[in-house]
A and B are shown apart, each in its own frame.
Chain A
């Protein structure tokens, strides 16, 4: 009980109560609640290693606050973001959230960027029983900490990115279904998470894994890996790639004239330079994506439009995930009809736990650990453009299998 709480003193509450400042008398001089701003505390890596995505996340939050405020705010109160810079430092992020919750008495907190920072931040929020919705931190470890207030505001964790594709492949009639699978993945938790998620589902569905290669992140020559894959003549090729490694592997496979019936790569095919980099032989290449500006969800159109007006560019995945975080918190606040520390936070957590929430990345639900229960959309190169092909509800083009030769 070393922290001072002005409100606690004002209402003369017993000093044992940690969760103070919650009830009606807490406002300065007891003014009416609607005049007080809702302060949302955030710590973001605005400098240091993660400053690039950190700034993206900041823009997403700013877009959310602006859109909410332009419509008259939350519960009639304006939303104010209180953003501290954690310098991409995990020790700093803990101090930041301690300060935001304990000293600054913010009404709500939302998450920082990257797994490394999400876990320590979530621990602080957990201590104070605050709802903690976060826009990053998809790694398995985040959901193994026993957090009860944490929710990851994205469609899926890495292992589930390809679920729609796995379902589509396994739903094919037996005579058309591919039989063999070759996997090559960078030695990286995210890349391997996505690729192995699909691999394991296809294996469980009866396909045989005929090649399973891992390469170090600094690999530049893919000819030997390609030779091993090409020798298997696998029907399905899964690439756990970032960007350049995916391009290099595809070119090396083209040099060996290997033609898979289905080729799925993480991240790489969604990059703008991808088509040119592999000589425009992209037709049929697949990739999962967590966010698309063209996704037909109701709030997405508004988000893209207003984000463009505010920042003069299209929102990317980082911005969208932060915006999604805002939307989840917004829905909870509206449903619980409160936004402050204390009892209210429990109502917010309960609401998020039990409800399906509509966001710019689609409807989201979570399991008990805060892991989202969805899957990523699957995009495919069709006629020189990358289009959503799965799931059927959001598709812009039909899923084509087998893919044309490259």
Chain B
């Protein structure tokens, strides 16, 4: 194997893994807060990507600026989604019904996107779309670095929020033990709503990052949800740092495995990792403890 190609693939894999990490973080939050499987997460991701594309094409401004609107908007939508729909599901059947409900939301978003923008594949045409710079013989595309930067900043922000603020403590307490959190005076219903909003806000950032360098089309979210689900299981359901680590490793593995296996087969790495995790270490490899209780 050619050393330069290997290094290039590692660089590309890390850049891809950063984006996976951000997206998986949102999914992990939902699962941690409510034990719900949020199938619509990647649909919101594509919605944000479309809004970024639309901002650029129709308004002629940089797609990154769309986040000024989409991040608060998605946060609000997440709070409403949790308070208005998911929290009304009966706890007994919550996990299964949440899959059905969020599946319906995903299909609705996909349908509306198809209605509004047609099924044609779209791509943002940026002046700096093909710009890149060299790093020890590998080339790093500017758009990919921006996407990675967005992911890193958003994840860093999320980490600080969770660790350093009262809201973050309350959120973590809610994730760890809802009843206990309520006993110490945390309004878990409100916190859970905000947590959902936070998760969906990561989809807004992720979607914008995604739109910079790939094609988007309404049904693209099905392409994303599988790998993301695999990542959060491997990372240990409910653990944000675990999901981030799993995302980086799997993104890297996918990228490097494309050299010998080709594009089609390299995608299977996610599912192999998922099976292996469920078979040998269902609690995940990175410290998530929730799966044991699940």
Q: Identify the A interface with B (CB < 8 A).
A: 187, 213-216, 218-221, 223-225, 227-228, 230-231, 243-244, 247-248, 251-252, 254-257, 276-279, 281
Q: A247-B123, A255-B130, A276-B125 are in contact. Are A224 and B258 (CB under 8 A)?
A: yes
A227 lies within 8 A of B129 (CB):
no
Closest 7 CB pairs of A and B: A254-B130, A255-B141, A231-B5, A244-B121, A224-B258, A220-B214, A215-B263
- Please name 13 further chain A to chain B contacts, defined as beta carbons within 8 Å, in addition to the given A255-B144, A279-B125, sorted by A numbering: A216-B263, A218-B220, A219-B263, A224-B255, A224-B258, A225-B263, A227-B8, A231-B4, A252-B141, A255-B141, A277-B123, A279-B127, A279-B130
Residue of A nearest to B216 (CB): A220
Alpha-carbon distance A231/B259, docked complex (angstroms): 11
Q: Indicate with 1 or 0, residue by residue over B110-136, a CB within 8 angstroms of chain A CB atoms.
A: 000000000001010101011110000
Alpha-carbon distance A187/B259, docked complex (angstroms): 18
Alpha-carbon distance A164/B190, docked complex (angstroms): 69
Residue of B nearest to A257 (CB): B139
B9 lies within 8 A of A248 (CB):
no
In the assembled complex, the CB of B27 is this many whole angstroms from the nearest CB of chain A, namely 20
In the assembled complex, the CB of A50 is this many whole angstroms from the nearest CB of chain B, namely 16
B130 lies within 8 A of A227 (CB):
no
Q: List 28 A-B contacts (CB under 8 A).
A: A213-B262, A213-B263, A214-B264, A216-B263, A218-B220, A218-B223, A220-B214, A220-B215, A220-B220, A223-B141, A223-B144, A225-B258, A225-B263, A227-B12, A228-B259, A231-B2, A231-B4, A231-B5, A248-B123, A248-B215, A251-B129, A255-B130, A255-B139, A256-B132, A257-B132, A279-B127, A279-B129, A279-B130
B interface secondary structure, majority: helix
Residue of B nearest to A212 (CB): B262
B252-267, CB < 8 A from A: 255, 258-259, 262-264, 266-267
A221 lies within 8 A of B214 (CB):
yes
Alpha-carbon distance A213/B267, docked complex (angstroms): 15
Interface residue count on the B side (C-beta < 8 Å): 33
B9 lies within 8 A of A227 (CB):
yes
Residue of B nearest to A219 (CB): B263
Cβ of B259: which chain A residues have Cβ within 8 Å of it?
A: 224, 228
B16 at the interface (CB under 8 A from A): yes
Cβ of A214: which chain B residues have Cβ within 8 Å of it?
A: 262-264
Alpha-carbon distance A19/B195, docked complex (angstroms): 77
In the assembled complex, the CB of A267 is this many whole angstroms from the nearest CB of chain B, namely 13
Alpha-carbon distance A118/B222, docked complex (angstroms): 33
Alpha-carbon distance A110/B246, docked complex (angstroms): 58
Cβ of A279: which chain B residues have Cβ within 8 Å of it?
A: 125, 127, 129-130
Residue of B nearest to A281 (CB): B130
Cβ of B127: which chain A residues have Cβ within 8 Å of it?
A: 279
In the assembled complex, the CB of B115 is this many whole angstroms from the nearest CB of chain A, namely 18
In the assembled complex, the CB of B160 is this many whole angstroms from the nearest CB of chain A, namely 30
Alpha-carbon distance A252/B139, docked complex (angstroms): 11
Q: Which of A213, A218, A255, A277 has the most CB of B within 10 A?
A: A255
Alpha-carbon distance A218/B139, docked complex (angstroms): 25
Cβ of A230: which chain B residues have Cβ within 8 Å of it?
A: 8
Cβ of B132: which chain A residues have Cβ within 8 Å of it?
A: 255-257
Alpha-carbon distance A223/B213, docked complex (angstroms): 10
In the assembled complex, the CB of B119 is this many whole angstroms from the nearest CB of chain A, namely 11
In the assembled complex, the CB of A192 is this many whole angstroms from the nearest CB of chain B, namely 13
In-complex Cβ contact of B264 among A216, A221, A247 (8 A): A216
